[in-house]
Amino acid sequence: MTTWGGGIYKAQGDFSNVNDITFRFIADFNTGVFSANKKIWIFENQKMFALNIITNEVETFETLNERIRDKGFSSMHVSRRGELWMGSNNLLFKYQISSGEIHEFSINTGKSSMLDNLVEDHSGNIWGTTLTSIFKFNVSKNVFETYPKNEGIALDNFIPYSKAVAEDGQIFFGGNDGYVSFYADDISKSDFQPKLLITNLYVGGEDIYSLNELEVKIKHLNRFLFLIKSF
């Protein structure tokens, strides 16, 4: 367990008897802590560490830390493939723990956004939230999709460190007014291609009502070349 400014402690003893429980100081880490695969992963002072919960040894990652030294991270997740995923400001990092290979992916949500609440679906894809949207990163294609709150998400904003994945694969993200839940397979990207409808046309600040007017105006301006098949 972590304390406010006091480091990481390990509880030990007979947990059926509260009077028998003692706390042993393990390491002086206080922020950015989460547990996965018999390790406690820590992001502190712009560096990544891993604490082995069996040996209590602390591991450092020089290559990774050199790459991320000027970044801030708000979420981490260790995948079933043995990859450490880290969410930063519009950036998603993948660190292959066994080989040390590092990949960086841009997640453009239309504005500056920290990537929070990283989880993994049954297909290995990574899901997460920003303050006002949900995103999915397809790990086989290295592409992402975003689902903003105005597309049916009934929350004002999402809260960091508020996530869960049920045994049946249902994903939960918590927000200010409750939570949203869904199955990854139920979320699909629309392939609808809307037709282009021109409702008005301006050239040089003036309305154009016919192709003849357009042709005259373009010749007069002598700036652009247009190919118009139909109007």
Do 44 and 126 fall into the same domain? yes
**Do 58 and 96 fall into the same domain?**
yes
User: What percentage of the chain carries pLDDT values higher than 90?
Assistant: 49
Question: Quick one: 119 and 224 in the same domain?
Answer: no
Task: State mean pLDDT over 8-22.
Answer: 92
Chain centroid, CA 52 distance in Å:
26
pLDDT band at 218 (very low <50, low <70, confident <90, very high): low
pLDDT at 99: 92
Residues 137 and 162 in one domain: yes
Judgement on whether residues 57 and 113 belong to the same structural domain of the protein: yes
Do 98 and 35 lie in one domain? The reply is: yes
Residues 222 and 129 in one domain: no
Structure tokens given for 218:
């373009």
Tell whether the model's pLDDT for residue 228 goes beyond 60: no
pTM recorded for the entire structure = 0.76
**What amino acid is encoded at 41 in this protein?**
W
DSSP H or E stretch at residue 159: strand 158-165
Do 110 and 220 have their domain in common? Answer: no
Residue 213 host element (H or E): helix 211-221
Same domain assignment for residues 101 and 52: yes
Do 55 and 151 sit in the same domain of this protein? yes
In the structure, what pLDDT confidence band is assigned to residue 227 with cuts at 50, 70 and 90? very low
Same domain, 123 and 209: no
Give the domain extent around 134: 2-186
pLDDT of residue 170: 97
Query: Three-state SS for 49?
Result: strand
Q: Do 27 and 102 belong to one domain?
A: yes
Q: What is the pLDDT of residues 91-124, one digit of tens each?
A: 999 999 999 999 999 998 888 999 999 999 999 9
User: Starting from the edge strand earliest in sequence, which strands make up the sheet with 7-12, in order?
Assistant: 2-3, 7-12, 22-27
Number of domains in the chain: 2
